[in-house]
Structure 1
Amino acid sequence: MAYIDLPCDSASVWSKLLDLYKDVAACCDESSLCSTLEQIARTAGGGDESAIGGLRAFFKSSEDAPRFFGTTLPFIAETASQLKVELDKEIKRIPFCSAVHRTVSLSRRLVATLLANALLCAFPHEKKGSFSFVQFYKGLSHVEADRRSSQAAKFKCILHYFDRVREIGLAGLNGYIMIRRHKAKSLQMKDWLSNADPLCHVEVLSRGSIEDAGSMALQADFAARHLGGGVLRTGRVQEEIRFCINPELLVSVLLVKPMDSNEAVSIQGTERFSRYSGYGRTLKYAGDYQDSNQCDKWGAPLTKIVAMDALNLGRASAKDQYSEEKIGRELTKSYAAFHSPVPDLSPELPLFAATLSKEIITEALTSHLNSTDRWASNFVSRPIEEATSLDAFADGIANDVIRLAQPESWANHFAGKILSSASDSLQAGYRAVATGNWGCGAFGGDPQLKSMIQWIATSASGRPAMLYYSFDDTRVAELKPLVDGISAARWNIKRLMKALLDYERAQKKHPKTTLFDFLQSELQR
């Protein structure tokens, strides 16, 4: 079994690092900090320490520099120094999450010490997949202004995590983070084409993001094969953003070996600490976020995120994605992500609880409840903060008690509405799947195809529903009416699967015909 190389493995190296951490705590400006971090990086194992100089650019333009050097940095240094103490409390050596050792569970306190050591460049950084922040800091002085800006936004999210942990104290960080590697069973195309299981309910959401879905949903991470993607470099899209607003996810960069084509990785127990706005080049840090998701009995959020890497098609092979081989690969990958041999929803978690975002509640109620009903009309016409409980609305009473009066009552009723076709799976304790346009940016995927593939995989996994976040992408603007039509026609998995395979042949004859157009024509037959 392979184990992680840690800064505290060598007694002599660790002793030097502890002394350097004291120097870090005493730093009062960016020059002294960069100089000390360069010494730490050299002690940790070499590489281009000069990249650390990017920190100078960040702090010269930061209004928060005095607070950082006065409070945040000393806490980070103290947290880093506790690595061996926390390690000795629970595990002597940390194994890689690999095909040999598929599940790794670490306390959130230990994770915080690992992140602090990474932030101080105490991990070797000369190879790809390194857990060092050396290359991250280089991005803070990137030649492109928008890269510098988005990198600064990521850094602010991570620093805010340490500010929040400082407020509660390391000892107050409760619970465990569980990282699990999932391998799909071997499924051939004939298995998909003979699967008569019904297709699950689908909810299409044009507003909000996957992280808004709450603990009732298995939340998709559109991952790279190496978890984290470019988060420790200058990456700034879905996976990298998620790893910065939930910084505890960063530990998976250290622990998880690259995924194979039939594997996915789930991470449960991380907390969201930051808000953000924008995406990619417009990414901005938007302040503190209070995670309201339910926690398990140890104190860790029940949030479960599943990482799955899509095919990187590129322009040259984008049309190949409609082939049986490519569709089969994406089905296997998404099935590995969504399938669970046992129920994965804690019986302690109330149905949908009160963790739904304002956007989800407003949009779904508008779509699914009769707007002529007095309480429904009132609900969607007022700000969510001023709304009342479902029972109060039913009685025609407009009392401003939503945050205190029976939140589970209306949340449970709401869940029953949008997941009405999924009662058996909900009773069995399976989460819905929250996903979206997986692999449809730089990887060249067609969101119309990916939505159908994920619908099939979600259904085959026995999940009650797929919550699909379209991000207002016009390419999937007709997803909801198409889903409604397919559901009304009572198509099952094998019928939709056959249609996807037929599309490749049809597309060769009529290259301008989109998949959705083709499926609509199939419904008319």
Structure 2
Amino acid sequence: MERREDLETILAYLPLVIQDSSLSWPSSHLVEVLEALTKGPSHSRVDWGQTLSDSISDMRQSLSLTPHLSYSALQGYALFFDEKMSKEESSRWFNEVLPAMACLLLRFPSLLELHYLNSENLINGVETGLRVLCSNKAGIVFLSQELIGALLSCSFFCLFPVDDRSSNRLPNINFDKLFGSLISTGRNEHQENKIRCITHYFQRISSCIPPGFVSFERKILSIESGLQAFPDEGFWSTSTVNLCPVEVHTCGLIEDQSVEALEVDFANKYLGGGPLRKGCVQEEIRFMINPELIAGMLFLPAMEVSEAIEVVGAERFSHYTGYSSSFRFSGDYVDTKERDVFGRRKTRIVAIDALRHPGISQYKPECLLREANKALCGFLHVCKNQCMDHEDGVGVATGNWGCGAYGGDPEVKSLLQWIAVSQARRPFMSYYTFGFEALHNLNQVTELVISKGWRVGDVWRKLVEYSNQRLRSSKKRREPKAGLFDWLISTNAA
């Protein structure tokens, strides 16, 4: 295989090497281990959790990977497959699923070579091959669901090198800390159920590998995004763009919405947040029920202030209940979303990271601007890379972005998102309040704003006016008299 610029950027983060112009596994012993696994436990002797743990250590040693896996990680693998799985599940895992995963890994080098061969002709003039999508540079990667299955199998066996990942702002990609959390935490049923989502994904693809594709795009807010000027405070305050309709949902979940919409991932700046660690809130849950999202963590460094990440085509495999410590896997989910011309499920997930614990600073003009621009970056349609049918009809499904654990003001954040959705010329915003009491009158506020004939610039100026009042109250150490919604209603009721 010829030397390629895209491959060169990612090769150090893969467990493969180039030998005689071809991608291959660097260890003949590892190939022997994988070949034995494909033949089942009668041949490999890997038939319970402890032997699986030993096999993972053996494979890593054959690749000279450092550091060694922690005791808790190795024990976590043993614990899950020996004690957390039923005998029936365990039998299927070791007799059917593990051999299929080993087969995928044996084919990983050829799958990756085929990927690079096909990437040149996917979209005219657009680079789509697997590479590190560095910060401050827009780009897109298309991966087949089969190749993603191989990548996630590498994660399961902890075969990705980790040297230099953190220094290059890349998140953890191996599953060792996820399994290790079964040992190192106290009440960890939610961690066990996160793993159940992952093992269910492997069970599904072991019987039938999905035939489609998933794209991962780094979006940059710039003049090239189709804007006439970079959005500063003047841009927002003078915008005459009409506000889009708002649909408020007091119950339901973003991922269950049935219309075509960008589904907002309340993201960490490191894509995924803590799905492979102890995290289990909105973003991490989405990565568990749509595990193909995890593949993006391999090659997408942390987001900068004016960046977002959009993923199109990630298939959902699991039902769930609960949230955080109450999260539970609740069975198989059959994704029936249609596919587009590129074979991607018409599921569009956009990751935007909000300010963390901003406190009173969130009302400062620069913070309002930061959040509005971050949302706008996520919601803008970049025609060159998106390549999606009927994009004009695609709205935004969102909720309390940057609130909850991040400490944002849900009333301010909801209106900031509304003006960003509108400025991006999206046709609607579906807002899921998740039962937040502070948003009980969101419908009333949006109806009031529409009745006044306000546009994006009008709402921005109201946000700034209210925020200035909050800042003045803070300096005088006074409690604010009213939240944003009550203030808007009381000052504009006439």
Give the TM bin, normalised by the shorter chain.
0.7 to 0.9
Which among 136, 139, 143 is matched to residue 181 of structure 2?
139
Question: Quick check: 1:246 aligned with 2:287?
Answer: no
Change (3 A) 1:149 1:24: farther
Aligned counterparts of 1:329 and 1:167: Cα–Cα separation in 2: 46
2:47 corresponds to which letter in structure 1?
C
2:56 corresponds to which letter in structure 1?
L
Change (3 A) 1:86 1:249: same
1:6-405 map, 5 Å? 6-9=14-17, 11=24, 13-24=26-37, 26=44, 27-42=46-61, 43=63, 45-49=65-69, 50=71, 51-59=73-81, 60-63=83-86, 64-91=89-116, 94-98=130-134, 99-100=136-137, 102-125=139-162, 128=166, 129-145=171-187, 148-168=188-208, 170=209, 173-185=210-222, 186-214=230-258, 216-313=260-357, 317-342=358-383, 346-347=388-389
Q: Which runs of 5+ in 2 are unaligned?
A: 19-23, 39-43, 118-128, 223-229, 474-478
2:368 corresponds to which letter in structure 1?
I
Alignment check: 8 A CA contact 1:318 1:445 kept: yes
State the partner residue of 1:403. none
Aligned counterparts of 2:64 and 2:375: Cα–Cα separation in 1: 38
Alignment check: 8 A CA contact 2:215 2:312 kept: yes
Aligned counterparts of 1:459 and 1:522: Cα–Cα separation in 2: 24
Please tell me the root mean square deviation across aligned C-alpha atoms, in Å.
Answer: 2.0
Higher mean C-alpha deviation, range 1-10 or range 185-194: 1-10
Question: Quick check: 1:463 aligned with 2:418?
Answer: no
Shift, 1:485, TM fit: 1.2
Aligned counterparts of 1:243 and 1:17: Cα–Cα separation in 2: 29
Alignment check: 8 A CA contact 1:124 1:130 kept: no
Shift, 1:512, TM fit: 4.1
Which among 398, 404, 407 is matched to residue 435 of structure 1?
398
Shift, 1:207, TM fit: 1.6
Aligned counterparts of 1:492 and 1:524: Cα–Cα separation in 2: 17
State the partner residue of 1:475. 438
2:184 corresponds to which letter in structure 1?
H
Alignment check: 8 A CA contact 2:246 2:429 kept: yes
User: Identity percentage over the alignment?
Assistant: 32
SS of the residue corresponding to residue 311 of structure 2 reads: strand
SS of the residue corresponding to residue 266 of structure 1 reads: strand
Q: Deviations over 1:291-335 (max 9, x none)?
A: 12111235331111111111112xxx4111011010000011000
Change (3 A) 1:138 1:101: same
SS of the residue corresponding to residue 256 of structure 1 reads: coil
1:46 corresponds to which letter in structure 2?
T
State the partner residue of 1:409. none
Alignment check: 8 A CA contact 1:431 1:464 kept: yes
Higher mean C-alpha deviation, range 205-214 or range 217-226: 205-214
Aligned counterparts of 2:286 and 2:448: Cα–Cα separation in 1: 33
Change (3 A) 1:164 1:323: same
State the partner residue of 1:516. 485
Aligned counterparts of 2:85 and 2:255: Cα–Cα separation in 1: 28
Aligned counterparts of 2:267 and 2:414: Cα–Cα separation in 1: 16
SS of the residue corresponding to residue 140 of structure 1 reads: helix
Alignment check: 8 A CA contact 1:197 1:493 kept: yes
Aligned counterparts of 2:177 and 2:461: Cα–Cα separation in 1: 46
Aligned counterparts of 1:88 and 1:484: Cα–Cα separation in 2: 54
Aligned counterparts of 1:7 and 1:269: Cα–Cα separation in 2: 26
Shift, 1:437, TM fit: 0.5
Shift, 1:341, TM fit: 4.0
Q: Deviations over 1:375-418 (max 9, x none)?
A: xxxxxxxxxxxxxxxxxxxxxxxxxxxxxxxxxxxxxxxxxxxx
Shift, 1:524, TM fit: 2.1
- Structure-2-length-normalised TM-score: 0.84
Shift, 1:279, TM fit: 0.4
1:466 corresponds to which letter in structure 2?
M
Q: Which runs of 5+ in 1 are unaligned?
A: 350-427
Alignment check: 8 A CA contact 1:345 1:429 kept: no
SS of the residue corresponding to residue 350 of structure 2 reads: strand
Aligned counterparts of 1:465 and 1:94: Cα–Cα separation in 2: 33
Shift, 1:198, TM fit: 1.2
Alignment check: 8 A CA contact 1:207 1:469 kept: yes
Higher mean C-alpha deviation, range 284-293 or range 211-220: 211-220
Q: Deviations over 1:453-472 (max 9, x none)?
A: 00010000000000001111
Alignment check: 8 A CA contact 1:217 1:433 kept: yes
State the partner residue of 1:3. 10
Aligned counterparts of 1:61 and 1:342: Cα–Cα separation in 2: 47
1:33 corresponds to which letter in structure 2?
L
Shift, 1:346, TM fit: 4.4
Change (3 A) 1:12 1:272: closer
SS of the residue corresponding to residue 26 of structure 2 reads: helix
Shift, 1:90, TM fit: 2.0
2:67 corresponds to which letter in structure 1?
G
Aligned counterparts of 1:183 and 1:237: Cα–Cα separation in 2: 26
